[in-house]
Structure 1
Amino acid sequence: MVTEYFVGIRAECSGDYGTVKYAGAVEGYQGFWLGIDWDEPNRGKHNGTVKGKHYFHTRYPTSGSFVRREKLNFGQSLIEAITSRYGYRDNEIEAKRNEEELHKIQQYMNAPFLELVGFEKVANKQRDFQYLEIVNVRMQKVCSAGPPRELNRMFPNIREIDLSKNLLCSWTEVFNICSQLKSLYCVNISENLLSIPENCCDFVFPNITVLICGHMDLSWDDVIKISSVFPNVQELRVPFNRITDITVPPNHNFKKLLYLDLEGNCIEHWSTIENLAVIQSLEHLNIEDVKLQRIRFRDDSVPTHGFTSLSQINISNNLIAEWQSIGELNKLNKLEHLRFTRNPILQTENPATREQIVVARIKNLKTLNGCRILDEERRGAEYDYLKKYGLEWLKSQNTADRKKFLREHNRFLELTNKYGALEESELVIQPNILDTALISISIKHGERTIKRKLPPALSIQKLILLIQKTFKLQDRPCLTYVSGPKQEIKIRLDDEMKELGFYSIQAGDVIIVNSENSIIY
């Protein structure tokens, strides 16, 4: 246990965490006091000033208070925490409780950053710590490594460790822990407020490849300093910090970085994000909830010169309010996986249409929000995109708006070359009566073809029943929509809950009826 207090150490009181900012007398009050700047903005009573006298600075106007030393907990060593948590157990109940707790932690952090250790097996082995590889000491009030070299002697095989929300006060203690655990590759130190030592560059741990630092009040400059200590990091998570500006120096230490998580930082500008383009190894970028308003690359080249390996990006929960930003992502030549939810522009279209717009605008996209994009879905999306914006394209011809249109619809000419120019009759959109108007289509089964006028609101399920009755079919048929003007466009009508209007079926189109085992390509 910590036996002396000094400014800068961390302390806990009734579940609240804070930093000691003052130790001494307080005018008008007897005895010895510790001035605490609490992590929670409203946990205290003042800003370090009492009765007009200033004692210490706080991060928030009401996060400061004075507390008696005996009411504070200054923590325990990592060795004590591990032996207490993974030592003798009377039964399996505690092991099960630990496993449930770790599940909750993973959900809270919104990332499965650690695998579950087999708590039952650990319990059975009791105090044989040589078997420990994955350790979770979250919220165990850890403040230090413990006696020199003891950590490595007692726990030589620890590979992953969760040190989040403890009482560590300096990166020096983290470095001490890393230096003793030779097999360690994954460290989570989230929710610790750590000072960075001036001799930070004197430390280096090439074995660490996963580093998780959420909710630590880090700036990007802090991240750059720490990166020199962990030059081989492949997965770096720094969500919910105070990162606003990003610059990557020429001699950066991100040569092996594959995954970067910046969620919850107030970055706002794509130009700031684009500074990461020089990290050639970067494959996965999470910029969810960074207050991003639009996406514009500095150059118009397709593909863009940077982000040469970026294949996955998450831009959900931002402030994007125009489709051109999504078209800009087509400049990322290797982009195959996109997560894009909870943005204002998505409210302008129904779910099916907005998904089609995204797919049509990004050529190489293979999954959207975790769902695979099938080839026929892409063909349908691209063709419907041409029909949706075709009239606007025709009106822009021989006008100053043509250049603007092509800038806003990045793949329109490419799609026109792919599917051919559409006739104006295919593009005419009737006013509001469209939903109630009947569509004249042909339904073909074998050598027999019939014509029917059907409402756009008719579900595929009801259409199947109608066709079964009309052609007196015993088996449930498969339907394929073929565009009248573009015979090469064939789309399976396999979602029975969708309506005809969802597939943009128009007068003159054909529906081919086949058996369950027959598919048209």
Structure 2
Amino acid sequence: MMLNNCERTPVIGNRIECLGYIGTIKYIGQVSDYAGIWIGVDWDDPTRGKHNGTIKGVCYFEASFPTSGSFVRPEKVNLGQTAVTALTSRYGRHDDDVTAKLHEQQLQSVQQCINAPFLKLVGFDKITDKQSDFWNLKVVNLRLQSVYTSGDPGSIRALCPNIIELDISKNLIKSWLTIFDICSQLDNLEWLNVSENILEFPPDLDDYCYGSVRVLICNAMKLTWNNVLQLGKIFPNLEELRVPNNNITTLDTPEDHKLVHLKLLDLENNLIQNWEEILKLKFLKNLEQMILENIKLNKIYFEDQEKIIDFSHLKKLVLTNNLINDWESVGELNKLQKLEDLKFINNPILDKESFVISTELIIARLENLKVLNGTTLQSDERRGAEYRYLKKYGLEYLSLKDYDQRKEFLKKHNRYDDLITKHGMPEESEMKTTSKIIKGTLTELQIIFNERIIRKKLPPSMLVQKLGTLVQKLFQLTDRPTLIYTSNTKSNIEINLNDDCKELGFYSMQDGDRILVQM
């Protein structure tokens, strides 16, 4: 979008747009062997340019990346527009709205001059009606509108003061002062997205405070954690803070920080790596959700105690796309007292077992987990996962000979004693047959309908859906039946087979177990 640049003269430091790319002016002047004036631009996209600011051995400017620099003609760059201009062009007829403001000012001037407060200009009623539409604006999207400034002092407040949600991401703003000016004019602003703007912080931030903002989104802005703490002082009532794709590597957080109301923190795609840094967030006492996706974590650990007092309100944790490669790290999450929702996808530890077994191992290790990877866990699913977990490691548990071995085992299997108390220890025969089931041998099941029993040897790989179809044929049923699995050796195990996509092996069925058929 090329705008009229006649009102602005390009200066070094300006943010500009050209052919959909955004960058910063680093040089204005002549370039050897090329006629005329050129603008040297350091593009945000490191692949957009052709060089690093040096041509034929002459350094005109220093680009951020080896190929983020290039030269363009002044007439090719878009220097941007004011936020007010963007508002009127997006949410109303540009000419009418500007005219409305001019006419309103003219009317007020005439009223004052002739002392006629009830004087009306012809057509002014319609203009006022149009202005009321802007006053009703609550949600505004100015993303990619080449905004570089708020406009004249107070102009946003005069046009649309009731904005609650504002997206002003990926524009040409170069300083937080512009954002602060916008916030100062919007007393009801609660939700603010300033992502993909590379903004300079002013040297003194003490005079800026905007308590109405509850949600702040700062994606891809080259922020450090110190910058984030500064923003916490400026926006002291934040409940949701999203800072993905920034330059955050450390998380030192003083006890007197200002993020006291924060409930959700998104740190996705920051190169944090070490769990020690995450532990530094313990002073965020009200944190309920933490997004730690793709931050290169390889281990999780807390102090050597059953439950920790830090992160006492944390309910949801996202750990997808990390480098976690041990089950002990998963077990450590059980120390989070209120953790009930976990996203744990694409971590190396998951490749060591099948999807079904990996899922069960997570469920069995986390006592209070209610939602895993977006799926709500059913009580029978948890009961089955915990019991199969006991069987999977039962022989190893029975072989423990002394205190040290037991301590090491429970370090790897954090809930094993608790699960024995809850479900009882499986019979040794059950534990021995588990490995056979996993290897794919046939299992002889009793399928029972109206006191009629049919015995069938079925593979663990058979889906519940296929079993339902088989039962229909065996008993010549017209409708799809309800299937209930019961253990032949454990009377307390009774599971409704209502997930067609599950394999029979998921339930660790053994020879002699029963499938009850109900209509």
Q: Does 1:148 align with 2:153?
A: yes
Residue 365 of structure 1, CA deviation: 0.7
Structure 1 residues 484 and 71, CA gap change in structure 2 (3 angstroms): same
Distance 2:90 2:10 in 1: 26
Structure 1 residues 490 and 226, CA gap change in structure 2 (3 angstroms): same
Q: Does 1:288 align with 2:293?
A: yes
> Which stretch shifts more, 22-31 or 188-197?
22-31
Of residues 49, 53, 56, the one that matches 1:48 is 53
Distance 1:142 1:464 in 2: 61
Of residues 258, 275, 283, the one that matches 1:270 is 275
Structure 1 residues 380 and 87, CA gap change in structure 2 (3 angstroms): same
**What corresponds to 1:305 in structure 2?**
309
Structure 1 residues 53 and 404, CA gap change in structure 2 (3 angstroms): same
CA contact 2:437–2:505 (8 Å) conserved in 1: no
**What corresponds to 2:126 in structure 1?**
none
**What corresponds to 2:377 in structure 1?**
373
Q: Write out aligned runs for 1:85-484 (5 A).
A: 85-88=90-93, 128-297=133-302, 299-398=303-402, 400-429=404-433, 435=439, 437-444=441-448, 453-461=457-465, 463-464=467-468, 476-484=480-488
Structure 1 residues 426 and 51, CA gap change in structure 2 (3 angstroms): same
Distance 2:355 2:488 in 1: 26
Distance 2:73 2:335 in 1: 60
Distance 2:477 2:136 in 1: 65
Of residues 502, 505, 510, the one that matches 1:501 is 505
Structure 1 residues 247 and 433, CA gap change in structure 2 (3 angstroms): closer
**What corresponds to 1:15 in structure 2?**
20
**Once the two structures are superposed, what CA deviation does each residue of 1:225-276 show, in whole Å capped at 9, x if it has no partner?**
1221101111111111111111111211110011111111111111111211
CA contact 1:89–1:126 (8 Å) conserved in 2: no
Q: Does 1:72 align with 2:63?
A: no
Distance 2:401 2:502 in 1: 35
CA contact 1:88–1:126 (8 Å) conserved in 2: no
Q: Does 1:487 align with 2:491?
A: yes
Structure 1 residues 195 and 429, CA gap change in structure 2 (3 angstroms): same
Q: Does 1:83 align with 2:104?
A: no
Of residues 5, 29, 33, the one that matches 2:10 is 5
**Once the two structures are superposed, what CA deviation does each residue of 1:331-354 show, in whole Å capped at 9, x if it has no partner?**
111111111112222222222222
Stretches of structure 1 lacking an aligned partner (at least 5 in a row): 91-123, 517-521
**Once the two structures are superposed, what CA deviation does each residue of 1:151-171 show, in whole Å capped at 9, x if it has no partner?**
101111111111111000000
Distance 1:470 1:73 in 2: 74
Q: Does the residue aligned with 2:322 lie in a helix, a strand or coil?
A: coil
Q: What is the percentage of aligned positions where both structures have the same residue? A: 48
CA contact 1:86–1:127 (8 Å) conserved in 2: no
Distance 2:224 2:284 in 1: 19
Q: Does the residue aligned with 1:201 lie in a helix, a strand or coil?
A: coil
Structure 1 residues 173 and 476, CA gap change in structure 2 (3 angstroms): closer
CA contact 1:88–1:127 (8 Å) conserved in 2: no
CA contact 1:484–1:508 (8 Å) conserved in 2: yes
Structure 1 residues 4 and 437, CA gap change in structure 2 (3 angstroms): closer
Distance 1:215 1:138 in 2: 14
Structure 1 residues 422 and 52, CA gap change in structure 2 (3 angstroms): same
2:20 maps to amino acid: G
**What corresponds to 1:99 in structure 2?**
none
2:256 maps to amino acid: N
Distance 2:325 2:149 in 1: 48
TM-score, reference length from structure 2: 0.86
> Which stretch shifts more, 421-430 or 146-155?
421-430
CA contact 1:303–1:332 (8 Å) conserved in 2: yes
Structure 1 residues 452 and 141, CA gap change in structure 2 (3 angstroms): closer
Residue 48 of structure 1, CA deviation: 2.2
**Once the two structures are superposed, what CA deviation does each residue of 1:196-229 show, in whole Å capped at 9, x if it has no partner?**
1101232000011111110111111111112211
Stretches of structure 2 lacking an aligned partner (at least 5 in a row): 96-128
Distance 2:159 2:466 in 1: 69
**Once the two structures are superposed, what CA deviation does each residue of 1:117-156 show, in whole Å capped at 9, x if it has no partner?**
xxxxxxx969831121111111110000000011101111
**Once the two structures are superposed, what CA deviation does each residue of 1:443-472 show, in whole Å capped at 9, x if it has no partner?**
555666676554434544554566566667
> Which stretch shifts more, 441-450 or 154-163?
441-450
2:410 maps to amino acid: L
CA contact 1:164–1:192 (8 Å) conserved in 2: yes
CA contact 1:87–1:127 (8 Å) conserved in 2: no
Distance 2:314 2:25 in 1: 43
1:340 maps to amino acid: F
Q: Does the residue aligned with 2:172 lie in a helix, a strand or coil?
A: coil
Structure 1 residues 348 and 436, CA gap change in structure 2 (3 angstroms): closer
CA contact 1:48–1:65 (8 Å) conserved in 2: yes
CA contact 2:433–2:510 (8 Å) conserved in 1: no
Q: Does the residue aligned with 1:228 lie in a helix, a strand or coil?
A: helix
CA contact 1:435–1:455 (8 Å) conserved in 2: no
CA contact 1:87–1:126 (8 Å) conserved in 2: no
Distance 2:78 2:473 in 1: 78
Which structure has the larger Rg? 2
Structure 1 residues 399 and 424, CA gap change in structure 2 (3 angstroms): farther
CA contact 1:260–1:282 (8 Å) conserved in 2: yes
Distance 1:149 1:431 in 2: 73
Distance 2:470 2:33 in 1: 89
TM-score, reference length from structure 1: 0.86
Residue 485 of structure 1, CA deviation: 3.1
Distance 2:168 2:82 in 1: 12
Q: Does the residue aligned with 1:70 lie in a helix, a strand or coil?
A: helix
Structure 1 residues 33 and 418, CA gap change in structure 2 (3 angstroms): same
Residue 404 of structure 1, CA deviation: 2.4
Distance 1:245 1:163 in 2: 28
Residue 498 of structure 1, CA deviation: 3.6
Distance 1:211 1:36 in 2: 29
